[in-house]
Amino acid sequence: MSPHRPVTFNHNPLLEKGLQEWRPRLILLGLMACFLALVGRAAYLQGFNHEFLQAEGKSRYSRVIPVPATRGRITDRHGDVLAISTPVRSVWAIPPDAVLTPAETRQLASLLEMEVEDLNRRLSSEQGFVYLRRQLPPEVARRVSELGLPGIHQQQEYRRYYPAGEVTAHMLGFTSVDDVGQEGVELAFNADLKGRPGSRRVIRDRRGQIIEDVESIRPPHDGSDVVLAMDKKIQFIAYSALREAMQKHKALAGSVVVLDSRSGEILALVNAPTFNPNNRSNLTGAQLRNRVLTDVFEPGSTMKPFIAALALDYGKVTPDTVIDTDAGRMTIGRATISDVRRHKGLTVTGVIQKSSNVGTVKMAQQFTPDEMWKMFDELGFGVPLHLGFPGEAGGRLRPAKSWRPIEQATMSYGHGISTTLVQMARAYTVFTRDGELIPLSLTRIDGPPQPTRRVFSAETARTMRHMLEVAAGPQGTAPRAQITGYRVAGKTGTAHKLEGGRYTNKYISSFVGFAPVSNPRLIVAVMIDEPSAGQHYGGAVAAPVFAKVAEGALRALGVAPDAPLVPLHFAGQAPTPVTAAKERM
């Protein structure tokens, strides 16, 4: 037996030496900490932050997309559609997903009528959403969809369509590519027309295509229809008459407005030049201007009836009072006021019939500036009518305290004061409604209007109707305003244009009248800017437009005639020297 006892593996002295106690505990604590951290993280994610995780998960496949609302229709007073929204498609892209081959890019660019460089620029955008083309026709959108390109999507939108085109352009206006009103009635009533878009939740596949409609979050609320006071037939009559006058007289611009004198409804509103709201690619500022409401001008002799009415109302004169017109000339300070034709004396009726500046000034001189200003203010001059149209002008009426004697004189016959055509048309309602001035309305009125104020007495208004009928008669300044079968009344206006603070040899010709005189139904106001074909007096240029519009409108409305049906041969004849002299101012 060996003196040394053998050493086995189990009794190795290295193993008999124990580990330090803190090391296993440290490891155990570390493992327990990691376990607790995992448990805490899991509890936090599943118990406290689950909404975020769910949202992140849904964002991979679920989308909320808008559901557009249909814009309300615009109709005329009889229900004929003037503006309607038609469904179209818009193509948009998610640039990171839109990985296209050169051939696919060329195909898509061709269908969208885009340059390949422009398409590539949009698809390389860092944005998550870009429009490629708005308001595509359904057929083109279908062909784009058939390509099945990744990252290229479509959505339904609406495009505004105007069946009457340029005939109703300035009244209706138009909308933007987002179907928001930009001009005219579209802007004035945008809050009612636009509606409220809705939204719905859908599930998309990895290519972005909708594979399931999950739920409707908010249904769309379509816009309300707007029923205008406009009569489409009368609108077309006014448009045709104005266009013909513009061509005949080679004018720069023109406007016509037709009012229902009983209700204040605007039955027609046209301007020239005009535009096609369905194709606005080459618009100019001149085409867009709604001159009836935005262009101010010196109305000339169409202002004279108000001075006569004021003198009658104050008892200063009677229709038969003779006014010495000083042979058609008078001097105020350094200025000389003259008439086109000289008369030694005229009655008040004759002053309006012959359109005497001198006679009108002598009536105006019987009043203080404050009294004249008060009448102009009550008639609505100097302030907008607040019809809701963009850019509506109020004209210019300076404070009475700043008037000089010559300015008071010239304002009596329509110089030194400016107004819009619609303001002049409205002011003439005091003659058709026995002295009452009523508000105007773009929309149809089903009940009686409420008069805003009484400006003149009923007796004065009736007297003025007779005077204005004489003024539009064979011996007045507007024989061409006559209509077969109807008694008409009105006043011509011819004013030099004011440019750069100086009067020029350019003219604005106008006429404001109403018919039938026995029971006034329509007021028609006409303005022709810069006629340049040899004639410029209101009786020769604007009065024939009134006759065509009023005659067509009265027959369209079925208004009974109140005069013998005798043909008016002179209406289409060239003016004789005597007639031309009558068609002045």
Question: Is there a contact between 554 and 563 (Cβ–Cβ < 8 Å)?
Answer: no
Nearest by Cα to 256 from 579, 554, 10, 528: 528
Question: What is the distance between the alpha carbons of residues 239 and 244, in angstroms, rounded to a whole number?
Answer: 9
For residue 154, the number of C-alpha atoms closer than 13 Å in the C-beta half-sphere is 22
Question: What is the distance between the alpha carbons of residues 229 and 189, in angstroms, rounded to a whole number?
Answer: 14
Tell me, what DSSP letter sits at residue 80?
-
Q: At what angle do helices 405-412 and 357-364 cross, to 10 degrees?
A: 120
Question: What is the distance between the alpha carbons of residues 490 and 424, in angstroms, rounded to a whole number?
Answer: 12
Query: Between β-strands 226-227 and 74-75, what pairing exists: parallel, antiparallel or unpaired?
Result: parallel
Query: Between β-strands 81-93 and 152-161, what pairing exists: parallel, antiparallel or unpaired?
Result: antiparallel
Residue 501: burial class (beta carbons within 10 Å; 0-12, 13-18, 19+): exposed
Question: What is the distance between the alpha carbons of residues 133 and 112, in angstroms, rounded to a whole number?
Answer: 7
Nearest by Cα to 92 from 144, 43, 44: 144
Question: Is there a contact between 159 and 86 (Cβ–Cβ < 8 Å)?
Answer: yes
Question: What is the distance between the alpha carbons of residues 95 and 76, in angstroms, rounded to a whole number?
Answer: 45
> Of 263, 301, 355, 412, which one is the catalytic site residue?
301
Per-residue pLDDT of the chain (585 residues; tens, 9 = 90+): 455 556 555 565 655 556 567 777 788 888 888 888 888 777 776 766 666 666 666 655 566 666 678 899 999 999 999 999 888 888 888 787 777 888 888 888 888 888 888 888 888 877 767 888 888 888 888 888 888 888 888 877 788 999 999 999 999 999 988 888 999 999 999 999 988 877 676 666 555 555 555 556 677 788 999 999 999 999 999 999 999 999 999 999 999 999 999 999 999 999 999 999 998 877 887 888 899 999 999 999 999 999 999 999 999 999 999 999 888 899 998 899 998 888 888 999 999 999 999 999 999 999 999 999 999 999 999 999 988 887 899 999 999 999 999 999 999 999 999 999 999 999 999 999 999 999 999 999 988 777 778 999 999 999 999 999 999 999 999 999 999 999 999 999 999 998 877 888 899 999 999 999 999 999 999 999 999 998 999 999 999 999 999 999 999 999 999 888 776 654 444 444 444 444 445
Question: Is there a contact between 454 and 447 (Cβ–Cβ < 8 Å)?
Answer: no
Return the ∠ at Cα 152 (arms to 147 and 155), rounded to 5°. 105
Tell me, what DSSP letter sits at residue 456?
S
Domains, the chain, in order of start with CATH, read 64-116+125-227 (3.90.1310.10), 232-276+286-582 (3.40.710.10)
Told to judge if 301 belongs to the known catalytic residues of this protein, a careful annotator would answer yes
Tell me, what DSSP letter sits at residue 301?
G
Tokens 């007297």 belong to residue: 463
